[in-house]
Amino acid sequence: MKLSANVIGATGLVGKALIQQLLNDERFEKVRIFVRRDTGLKHPKLEQFIVDFGNTETWEKQLTGDVLFSALGTTLKQAGSKEKQWEIDFMFNLNFAQKAKENGIEIYVLVSSIGANAKSAIFYTKMKGELDEAVSKIGFNNLVILRPASLTGPRENRRLAEEFSVPVLNFLTRFMMKNYRPISGETVAKAMINAALRNTGGKTIYEGGEVFNLAENSL
């Protein structure tokens, strides 16, 4: 049976890679993306919905099918404030997850972050951990949370901290701290698709280095 997928965060590093892989994957017959602006993408399998993420009425009826993939997230710099980053990373993700479940979607794959912990003293990792806990309570038949380390690949907006840290982490994680090994957006996207197709049931979390293994083990 071919699946129908929904994607939020489609214009980011992981999201772009995910869209291309889904469109090229014969196991998916429909790919719906929810975006704030026209992406310019055209494909027979693709449906694009330009929405207001903060206004549920602009997207809730279109959120149907088998799978919801979320690669939605931003940086504090891009958001402009912690309040705005919280709205995007936490509230928008949670609202989509809740509506997906209400609309009968039972597979949810979320890109979180290494170190996500609701009890963290660090704003970003605390926010990610709280989101992980919140979506865990919704009751999806198959919930998969990926917690990759630093992401590599082409971005619209340069992140200087990553440009400096990734080479160092690549060196260090050859020998230790393998969970913190930088990972490409394409690899995370592969892992997301494999996670959805496995449909193992319940909740599964893949930490750092485990995301590489998931990407490499296709069905």
Residue range 5-25: average pLDDT? Answer: 97
The whole-number pLDDT of residue 62 equals 97
Q: Give the pLDDT score at 130.
A: 98
The answer, yes or no, to whether residue 9 has pLDDT greater than 90, is yes
- Reduced 3-state DSSP string for the chain: CCEEEEEECCCCHHHHHHHHHHHCCCCEEEEEEEECCCCCCCCCCEEEEECCCCCHHHCHHHCCCCEEEECCCCCHHHHCCHHHHHHHHHHHHHHHHHHHHHCCCCEEEEECCCCCCCCCCCHHHHHHHHHHHHHHCCCCCEEEEEECCCEECCCCCCCHHHHHHHHHHHHHCCCCCHHHCCEEHHHHHHHHHHHHHHCCCEEEEEECHHHHHHHHCCC
Q: What's the sign of the alpha-carbon dihedral 100, 58, 145, 193?
A: positive
- Whether the CB-CB separation of 135 and 95 falls below 8 Å is answered with no
Interaxial angle between packed helices 123-136 and 93-102, expressed in degrees from 0 to 180 and rounded to the nearest 10: 10
Return mean pLDDT, the chain: 91
| Number of Cβ within a 10 Å radius of residue 175 | 7
* Per-residue pLDDT, 167: 58
| pLDDT on residue 169 | 46
Low-confidence winner among 3-7, 164-168, 212-216 (lowest mean pLDDT): 164-168
pLDDT above 90 covers what percent of the chain? 81
Res. 61 pLDDT band, cuts 50 70 90: very high
Q: What is the pLDDT of residues 97-118, one digit of tens each?
A: 999 999 999 999 999 999 999 9
Q: How confident is the model at residue 51 (pLDDT cuts 50, 70, 90)?
A: very high
pLDDT tens across 158-178, in order? 554 554 455 544 544 454 567
Query: In this predicted model, what pLDDT tens digit does every residue of 184-209 receive, in sequence order?
Result: 999 999 999 999 999 778 999 999 99
Distance, CA of 124 to CA of 126 (rounded, Å): 5
**CATH code of the region 3-150+184-216:** 3.40.50.720
Digit-coded pLDDT (tens) for 124-154: 999 999 999 999 999 999 999 999 998 997 7
On the question of pLDDT at 6 being above 80, the answer is yes
How far lies 70's CA from each of 41, 58, 117, 172, 198, in Å? 18, 18, 19, 29, 17
pLDDT of residue 48: 98
Q: In whole angstroms, give the CA distance from residue 189 to residue 195.
A: 10
Cβ proximity of 218 and 47 under 8 Å: no
Instruction: Say whether pTM exceeds 0.75.
Output: yes
Report residue 19's pLDDT band, with 50, 70 and 90 as the boundaries: very high
So where are the chain's domains?
Answer: 3-150+184-216
What's the pLDDT score for residue 174?
53
